[in-house]
């Protein structure tokens, strides 16, 4: 979650993602050391905790190094054993497990598309995503990482210090999604005429409605048959009703991130329905569906900040 956005720019999208998300109505620096940039590090910490679990759903050996490289979060836990309450802590227990589950589900989505022959992966608001380094991708696969230059530079510095090598071709695309990111993407080798798989992980509900619709329309325009898109949505009509939920309260009090201050609180568009109307096949699932499938992860609870979260999976039929 690494991008900024202002209401004056509501007709254009901003990045967020992998752990990156966009703060509507708030501007901050180019890197990850403040404001919404910290949310990318929050997800990295959650992935580090997931990596060290005995029943891990996803492995990211680089995640803890991002956390340790940023002074603002140098004291955050990267193992659940470092949390006094352990899994009973709403932030580093339940919420971190949510991010671990989301990582696994979207990993499987990308790998499924690649298995079907897709060789272009586009990460919108890539943040601290390391799928190019940790997924078993074929050497002819290309991973395009779109985010601001400062975010990508921080990530590259940490990965270079670790002598990390990508498993597939990795193409950083340093551009603010409020700018002409389409030209930036296509000028680095992305081919709209070939199938592609896209992730908007932890992004859209930080955007004003018009910006979300613009982004979905743009993905539709840049894709051909055989392409796929996964994104996260929130269905609550009143997000502020969950201000006192355990997850939002713990995130505010323990690390100073007020997620509800970053979310766009306006009505959300029906992006899944929009894609369906354009010929895509779509399915919408709750995170709890995957908790039950994998046997671990968050389950519903009273006053649940995850109650309205949905994961949408869309496929564009071939001609």
DSSP 94: I
Note the Cα 130 to chain centre separation in Å.
11
Take residue 6 and report the two structure tokens written for it.
């202002």
pLDDT of residue 32: 84
Take residue 196 and report the two structure tokens written for it.
């592609």
By DSSP bridging, strand 309-315 and strand 281-285 are antiparallel
Contact of 2 with 125, CB cutoff 8 Å? yes
DSSP 310: E
pLDDT of residue 203: 87
Residue closest to 72 by CA, chosen among 18, 29, 131, 123: 29
pLDDT of residue 76: 97
Report which secondary-structure segment, H or E, holds 248. Answer: helix 246-255
Note the Cα 165 to chain centre separation in Å.
22
Helix, strand, coil % over all residues of the chain, rounded to 5: 40, 15, 45
pLDDT of residue 177: 78
How many other C-beta atoms can be found within 10 angstroms of the C-beta atom of residue 181?
22
pLDDT of residue 257: 93
Buried b (16+ CB within 10 A) or exposed e, 255-272: bebebeebbbeeebbebb
Those residues with Cβ within 8 angstroms of residue 30's Cβ, 6 or more apart along the chain or in another chain: 148, 149, 150, 151
Helices (H), 163-225: 181-186, 209-221
- Rounded to the nearest 5 degrees, what angle is found at the Cα of 72, between the Cα atoms of 66 and 73? 55
Per-residue pLDDT of the chain (319 residues; tens, 9 = 90+): 433 333 233 333 333 333 333 333 333 456 787 666 788 999 999 999 999 999 999 999 999 999 999 998 989 999 999 999 999 999 999 999 999 999 999 999 999 999 999 999 999 989 999 999 999 999 999 999 999 888 899 999 999 999 999 999 999 999 987 789 999 999 999 999 999 999 999 888 888 899 899 999 999 999 999 999 999 999 998 999 999 999 999 999 999 999 999 898 999 999 999 999 999 999 999 999 999 999 999 999 999 999 999 999 999 998 6
| CATH domain 3-315 topology | Rossmann fold (3.40.50)
pLDDT of residue 303: 96
Residue closest to 44 by CA, chosen among 20, 24, 23, 80: 20
How many other C-beta atoms can be found within 10 angstroms of the C-beta atom of residue 208?
26
């Amino acid at each position: 979650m690494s991008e900024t956005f202002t209401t004056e720019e509501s007709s254009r999208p901003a990045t967020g993602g992998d752990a990156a998300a966009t703060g509507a109505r708030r501007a901050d620096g180019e890197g990850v050391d403040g404001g919404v940039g910290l949310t990318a590090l929050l997800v990295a910490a959650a992935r580090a905790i997931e990596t060290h679990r005995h029943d891990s759903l996803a492995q990211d050996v680089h995640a803890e190094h991002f956390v340790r490289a940023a002074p603002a979060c140098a004291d955050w836990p990267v193992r659940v054993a470092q949390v006094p309450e352990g899994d009973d802590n709403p932030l580093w227990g339940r919420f971190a497990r949510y991010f671990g589950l989301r990582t696994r589900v979207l990993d499987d989505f990308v790998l499924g598309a690649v298995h079907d022959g897709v060789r272009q992966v586009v990460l919108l608001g890539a943040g601290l995503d390391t799928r190019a380094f940790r997924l078993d991708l074929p050497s002819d696969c290309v991973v395009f990482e779109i985010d601001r230059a400062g975010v990508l530079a921080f990530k590259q510095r940490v990965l270079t210090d670790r002598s990390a090598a990508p498993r597939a071709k990795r193409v950083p695309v340093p551009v603010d999604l409020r700018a002409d990111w389409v030209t930036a993407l296509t000028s680095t080798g992305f081919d709209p005429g070939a199938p592609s798989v896209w992730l908007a992980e932890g992004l859209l509900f930080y955007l004003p409605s018009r910006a979300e619709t613009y982004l979905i329309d743009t993905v539709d325009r840049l894709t051909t048959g055989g392409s796929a898109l996964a994104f996260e949505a929130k269905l609550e009509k009143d997000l502020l009703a969950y201000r006192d939920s355990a997850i939002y309260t713990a995130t505010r009090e323990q690390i100073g991130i007020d997620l509800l201050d970053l979310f766009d609180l306006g009505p959300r568009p029906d992006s899944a329905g929009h894609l369906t109307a354009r010929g895509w096949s779509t399915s919408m699932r709750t995170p709890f569906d995957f908790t039950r499938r994998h046997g671990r992860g968050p389950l519903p609870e009273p006053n649940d900040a995850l109650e309205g979260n949905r994961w949408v999976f869309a496929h564009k039929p071939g001609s």
